[in-house]
Structure 1
Amino acid sequence: MYKGQSGMWSWLFHRISGLGILLFLFIHIVDVSMLSFGPGVYNQSVVLFDYVVVRLLSLALVIAVLYHTFNGIRIMAIDFWRKGSRYQRAMFGIVLAATIIVFIPMAYYIMGPAFQWLTQAPHAATTGH
């Protein structure tokens, strides 16, 4: 047993992120199948994606995909690079750092519309009408 070292956490996060991506796939299939009920039903179902809770779930999906991708590259490096197992702890740190660095601008893009009310000025007060 790894007893809490980077290999155990890497394995656990990889499995959790993979299950999260699989769950999203099922939700995506249901979402796309709404088209078969007509454009009105589909448009009503897509409105759900504007809720803050759903945007947070989208963020969870983004971080799961990013981590799963970068960690998959790390796993391939360990498997195919002779010195890969020696540097697996450092590569785990790189995976976490890369995930966070790429995630931050995506989080801003996804959550930005949910906080539009913070940036909008009241038009009656600013225009004088």
Structure 2
Amino acid sequence: MPQQSAEALTSQQKTTSRRPAGTLYRGREGMWSWVLHRITGVAIFFFLLVHILDTALVRVSPEAYNAVIESYKTPIMGLGEAALVAAIVFHAFNGLRIILIDFWNAKYQKVMFYVVIGLWVVTMLGFLPRHLYNVFNN
């Protein structure tokens, strides 16, 4: 009897300790979508917080506000704007995917994740060249 329970335990450990290759997460595309949605959401939240604070500076000190606005015209901030647009676009497309899953069918979750990535890439390819041209040539 003890031998059978030891074999059963070993068998159970083998089946419960499996992980998908290359990732710690078990959810694959669904989990990565969830992680990216949370990261982009937090990034957008902090941008909005900073935006509200820097806009509020105009009431406190117009000179300080002008100095902050001038610092936004640097290439580093231009790259930050590109990252912000990338986060917003992914968050928006992925939010639509989540709505479709909630009201439609989770069966196509994997396909919809790759559609979101494809739409994000196409949108960013349309945005980035013009934006980076303006950032580095003005």
* Alignment partner of 1:17 out of 36, 40, 56: 40
CA contact (8 A) 2:75 2:136 kept: no
**Is the aligned partner of 1:30 residue 2:53?**
yes
Q: What are the ranges of 5 or more consecutive residues in structure 1 without an aligned counterpart? A: 118-129
Aligned counterpart, 1:103:
124
Distance 2:69 2:89 in 1: 24
Aligned counterpart, 1:113:
134
Deviation readout 1:71-116 (Å, 9 max, x if unpaired)? 01101111101xx211110000010111111122222233222321
Tell me the percent identity: 36
**Is the aligned partner of 1:72 residue 2:95?**
yes
- Partner SS, residue 87 of structure 1: helix
CA shift at 1:38, angstroms? 4.0
How many residue pairs get aligned? The number is 115
Runs of 4+ with >4 A deviation: none
Query: AA paired with 1:100?
Result: V
CA shift at 1:9, angstroms? 0.6
What's the RMSD between the two structures over aligned residues? Answer: 1.8
- Partner SS, residue 50 of structure 1: coil
Change (3 A) 1:23 1:11: same
Q: What are the ranges of 5 or more consecutive residues in structure 2 without an aligned counterpart? A: 1-18, 20-24
Query: AA paired with 2:131?
Result: I
* Alignment partner of 1:91 out of 112, 115, 125: 112
Query: AA paired with 1:77?
Result: L
What TM-score do you get using the length of structure 1 for normalisation?
0.81
What TM-score do you get using the length of structure 2 for normalisation?
0.76
Aligned counterpart, 2:6:
none
Q: Between Structure 1 and Structure 2, whose CA radius of gyration is higher?
A: 2
